Chains A and B, each alone.
Chain A
Amino acid sequence: MGLEPTRRARAGTRLVWALVAAGLIAAGCGGDDDSGSAGDTTGAESDISEQGDPVYGGSITVGLEAETDEWLPGNGSFANAGTSVAYAIYDPLMRRDADGEMQPYLAESIEPNDDLTEWTLTLRPGVQFHDGTPLNAEALKTVFDDYLKAPGTNTAGALTDVEMVIVDDLTVTYQLPNPNSAWPDQLGLAVGWPFSPTAAAAAGEDAGSQPVGTGPFVFDSWERDNRLVVKKNPDYWQEGLPYLDEIVFRPIPDEDTRISSLTTGDIDVLQTLRQSSGVRVRDLDGVDSYEQLGNTTGVNIFNTTKPPLDDVRVREALARAVDQEQIIEIQGGTGVVPPSTQIFNEDDPYWSEAVADAWPGYDADAAGELIDEYVNDPARSDGKAPGEPVTFRYDCPPDPSLVDMAQLYQSFWGQVGVEVELRQVEQATHISEAISGDYDAKCFRAGLDRDPYPTLNDAFTADSAINFTRFTDPAIDADLEALAASSDLEERQALVEEISLIVNENFPMTYHGSTLSVLGARDVVKNLDGWSFPDGAEGSGTPGATTMWGFVWTTE
C-alpha cells in the first residue's frame, strides 16, 4: 500500500483508541450476566425475556448510533457502531472472556516467550476468508506488513517496531521491541481482525467499502448513511453458526428517532451509550435491555501545563468543589451510573478500594480555602495580582446533556470563586485541541475495555501523543515499565493502584460517573449476550453495546 494522502490524513483517527471525547465513544468491560448487578442501587440491570432454543433463519435490522467511514481494519475508525458491524464480517483473533481475560477466538492459541517480547500465535486450520482465500500465516503477514503497518493507518502507531515472522503455515511470531504483557489485548482490536489480502489488493482504493473477512456473515451491500447488509456465511468455520440469514445495519444518529424506530418495529435492535436513552429503553414494552457498565468514565481533563490549572491547588479545589452525584443526576444517570473515583469500574480487577478511599469527596469549604490560597499567593502561576479571581475556559461538545452538565460545573466552581467561561466545541476540534494542548479544561471520557497498560501508558507518559493532560511522573513511568513486563495479576493490580493513587493525588482529571452501554432488542431477537468462545468458555456479553452476531437468532 502506497503513502496516499487519503490514508495519511487518517492518522488522527487512531487517537480515539484510548481516550475519547465525551459522547463520541465508550466501551464496556467487566459487566456481568443477564442479572446485571442485582441488588445494587445503581449499575447495569439487564431485563431479558425467556431465550428458548435457537432458531435458524430470519433477518434483523440493527439501529446504530453512527456511520463508520470505511471497513478496512487499519483505515476505518471503528467506534462502537463500527465495531458492532465488524463482529459480523470479521472474527477477532482474541477476545475478552467473562472473567476479563483475553482468550483466543479466531486464533487457536497464543504463547509469550519468557521476557514477553515475543508472542507466538497459532491459527485454526481450515479457516477461509469469504472469497475462498485461506487464512494462514502468509495471509496474516501480508495484512500486517502491507496494510496495518502502512504509514498513515490508524494501526501503524501501535505497531511501530513490531515485526511479524512466519514460523510455519499456521504460526506466526510477533516480535516486540519491549516486553509487553498486554500484547494479546491489541489483537482484540482492529489489528487482530484478519481480512482477505487477495480481496483487498483486488479492490484497491475501494477495499474499505468491500470488506472480506472470516466472520459469520458475508458483506453484501453498503449505502453510506443508509444501510449495510450482510448475509449468512454458509461456510463459516464454527459449526452450526450463524443462526440468522441476514442482518441490516442502519446508522440512525438521533437518539430519539432511534428509540422511536425500535418501538415502531422499523428496527429490531438498537445500541446506545447515553444514560438517559438506556433508562428509556428499560421502560419499553416488548423490548429486552442488555446493559453493561463500561470500563470507561466521564472525566474533566485539565491542561496541567497551562496556568492556572498548572497549580495542583487549583485542580484539587475544582475536584473538591463538585458534588458528583448532582453531575450524574443532570445527565439522567441517577440510579444507573455509580460515581467514579478512578478509570476502572468496581467490577474490574484493577479497581482499587484504596484509590477510591483516597479520592476527596464534595467539600466546598476546603475547595474555597485552596482557591483563596492560590489567589492570595504573590507567586501565583497565572501572573495575576493577588486577589484577582481564578479564570479558565471549559469546553464540551454541543450535546444537550453535556451543555447542562457544563453549566452545573460552572455553578459549582463559581461558588468557590472560580470564573469559568463555557465554550461548545465540535468533536473533531475538541479532540484536536486536546491533542495540541490548546485548551484549559475539557469534558472527556477516560479508559477503554482494554488492559490497563496501554490505557495508562497513553494517558500519562511524555511520549504519548494522547497524553491530553500533559501530566507525567517518573514513578508512573517506572510502574508502567514494570506493568508491561509482568503477567502476574496481583503484581499488576498493585502497580495499577500505585499509578492511580499518584494520578488522584495530582488531579489531572476529575470524574463524573461510569458509562452505561445498552443494546435494546425487540423480544423476538434472542441471545445478544450469550456468545461463547470456540472452546465453550463464556464471552464478555455486550461490552460497549457490541455483540457477536453469529450467536444471535430471531423467533420471527
Chain B
Amino acid sequence: MRQALRRLPTMAATLLVVSFLTFLLTGLLPGDPAVQILGPEGANDPEAVAAVRADLRLDDPLPARYAGWLGDALTGDLGRSYRTGQPVAEAIGERLPVTVEVGTLAVVLALAVAIPLGTFSAFRAGGPADRVITGTSFGLLAVPNFMMAILLIWILAETLGWLPATGWVRLTDDPVGNLRTAIMPALALATGELAVYTRLLRADMITTLQQDSITMARAKGMPTARILFRHALRPSSFSLMTVVGLQVGAIIGGSVVIETLFALPGVGRLLVDSILQRDLIMVQGVALVIAISFVVINFVVDLLYTLLDPRIRHGRPATA
C-alpha cells in the first residue's frame, strides 16, 4: 500500500502530461483547427467556423483552454462528436467493454498457454520438445494478427461452423453467445502474444533453474512440478509481467484491425472510423482513454512486482 501511495504522484504527473499531449491534438493541426474540423467545404461558412471556435474555446489562451478542457474531461465531458452528434464519453463507454473483454480474454488465453509451454520448454531446454515449441513460437510471431484472423474465420466459422464469423453479442444479453463472438477475435490477438510470452518465460526460467535454490530443492527430492511452478515460476515472471503490461499497447493496436475484420463495436474500430472521418473530437477522446488505460495498467503491473517479490516490497534490489 505504501508502495502504491509512493508511486501515485509519478502516475498523476504522467497522466497530466498525457492529457496535455492529447489536448494538443487539435492545437497541433496546421491553420485554424475549426477549419480543419469542418473541412474546406464547411469552412466557407463563417458562422460555422465561429461556432466551432466558440465550442472549442479556440479564442482563449492555451493554458485557459487546457484548464477548461481538463475540467470537463475530469467530469466525464469529452465533448460531442461533430460527425455523429453523439457525446464522446457515451460512445467510448458503449465500446470500451468490448475492447476490454476481447483484450483481457486474449491476455488470459496467451498466458494460459504460454506459462506451461515456456516452463516446459525451459525444463527440457535443448530437447526435441523445446525445439518444437521454440520453432512454433517463432512461426506464430511471424504471422500478423489479421492473417491469423482470416485463417481462424476460415477454419472455425466457414469450414467447421463452430463459431460465428462476425458480430458481437453483449455479455448481459447472452453470456454463451458473448463468449462465442469474443473467442475468435481474442484468439487472433492472443497468438502473437503467447509466442512473445513463451519465449520470454523460457529464457528467464532457464536462468532461474540454474540457481542454487533450485539445485537444493532438487537435492531434497522435491517433485519437479512443485519445483517448477512453486519455486521457479515466480522469480522468472518479472520480465513476463513487464511485457504483459507493455503489450497492452500491442493489444490495442491489434484491436484496430481485429475489430474491423470481425465487425466488433469496440474502441479500436471507433478510433479508425473517427480518423477516417476527420472526427477529431472523438479521436481526442479515444486517444486520451487509451493513453490513460496504458498508464494505469502499467502502474498496476508495477504494483504486482511488490506482490511477486518481497525484496521490492522492502526496498531491496530485485536482482539476485
Contact = CB atoms under 8 A, between A and B. Distances in A.
A7 B270 CA distance: 20
Interface stretch (A95-103, A105-113, A258-266, A509-517): A258-266
A69 B83 contact: yes
Given A9-B52, A70-B85, A264 B158 contact: yes
B143 to A, nearest CB: 17
A376 interface: no
A15 interface: yes
Contacts of B51: 3-5, 8
A67 interface: yes
B150 A256 contact: yes
Interface in B32-80: 37-42, 44-45, 47-48, 51-52, 54-55, 80
Interface residues of A, number: 48
Nearest to B270: A225
Contact of A226 (B39, B42, B81, B265): B265
Nearest to A254: B261
Given A225-B270, A260-B158, A250 B167 contact: yes
Interface stretch (A361-369, A424-432, A490-498, A542-550): A424-432
B52 A8 contact: yes
B160 to A, nearest CB: 10
Given A4-B51, A224-B86, A257 B80 contact: no
B262 A257 contact: yes
Residue of B37, B44, B84, B278 with most partner-chain A CB within 10 A: B84
B260 interface: yes
B260 A209 contact: no
A142 B85 CA distance: 22
Contacts, number: 143
A452 interface: no
Nearest to A67: B273
A11 B47 contact: no
A432 B154 CA distance: 38
B263 A250 contact: yes
B253 to A, nearest CB: 17
Interface string A5-20: 1111111100100000
A11 B45 contact: yes
B48 A5 contact: yes
A278 interface: no
Contacts of A263: 158
B41 A465 contact: yes
A229 to B, nearest CB: 12
Given A264-B158, A435-B41, A6 B47 contact: no
Nearest to A4: B51
A299 to B, nearest CB: 20
B232 interface: no
Contacts of A253: 260, 263
Contacts of A251: 263
Nearest to B54: A5
A454 interface: no
Contact of A11 (B42, B153, B168): B42
B3 interface: no
B166 interface: yes
Given A4-B51, A6-B85, A427-B276, A264 B157 contact: yes
B167 A432 contact: no
Contact of A266 (B83, B85, B164, B270): B164
A285 to B, nearest CB: 12
A248 to B, nearest CB: 10
Contact of A12 (B42, B95, B261, B262): B42
A151 B47 contact: yes
B199 interface: no
Given A257-B153, A260-B158, A5 B52 contact: yes
B265 A225 contact: yes
Interface in A42-74: 63, 67, 69-70
A11 B41 contact: yes
A260 B158 CA distance: 7
Contacts of B213: none
B286 interface: no
Contacts of A264: 157-158, 161, 164-165
B82 interface: yes
A6 B38 CA distance: 10
B48 A226 contact: no
Given A226-B265, A257-B262, A260-B157, A3 B47 contact: yes
A467 interface: no
B277 interface: yes
B167 A226 contact: yes
B301 interface: no
A252 interface: yes
B269 interface: yes
A260 B153 contact: yes
Contacts of A69: 83-85, 277
A205 B44 CA distance: 24
A258 B165 CA distance: 8
A225 B273 contact: yes
Given A209-B86, A264-B161, A8 B48 contact: yes
A426 B278 CA distance: 10
B246 interface: no
B37 A9 contact: yes
Interface string B275-308: 1111000000000000000000000000000000
Contact of B83 (A9, A15, A252): A9
Nearest to B149: A257
B263 A224 contact: no
B39 A223 contact: no
B209 interface: no
A258 B48 contact: no
Contacts of A227: 167
Interface string A256-280: 1110110110110000000000000
B240 interface: no
Contacts of B157: 260, 264, 266
B39 A266 contact: no
Contacts of B54: 5
A520 interface: no
A152 interface: yes
Given A9-B37, A224-B94, A264-B164, A257 B42 contact: no
A487 interface: no
A224 B40 contact: no
B188 to A, nearest CB: 12
B165 A9 contact: no
A75 interface: yes
Interface of A: 3-12, 15, 63, 67, 69-70, 75, 151-152, 205, 208-209, 223-227, 250-254, 256-258, 260-261, 263-264, 266-267, 426-429, 432, 435-436, 465
Given A226-B263, A250-B166, 16 more contacts: A5-B48, A5-B54, A6-B82, A12-B38, A12-B42, A225-B264, A225-B269, A253-B260, A254-B260, A258-B166, A260-B153, A260-B166, A261-B164, A264-B164, A266-B157, A266-B165
26 contacts: A5-B52, A5-B82, A6-B85, A8-B38, A8-B48, A12-B38, A69-B83, A152-B48, A205-B85, A224-B86, A224-B265, A225-B270, A225-B273, A226-B167, A226-B264, A251-B263, A253-B263, A254-B261, A257-B153, A260-B158, A260-B166, A261-B164, A261-B166, A428-B39, A465-B41, A465-B44
Closest 5 A/B residue pairs (Cβ): A8-B48, A9-B82, A225-B265, A436-B40, A226-B265
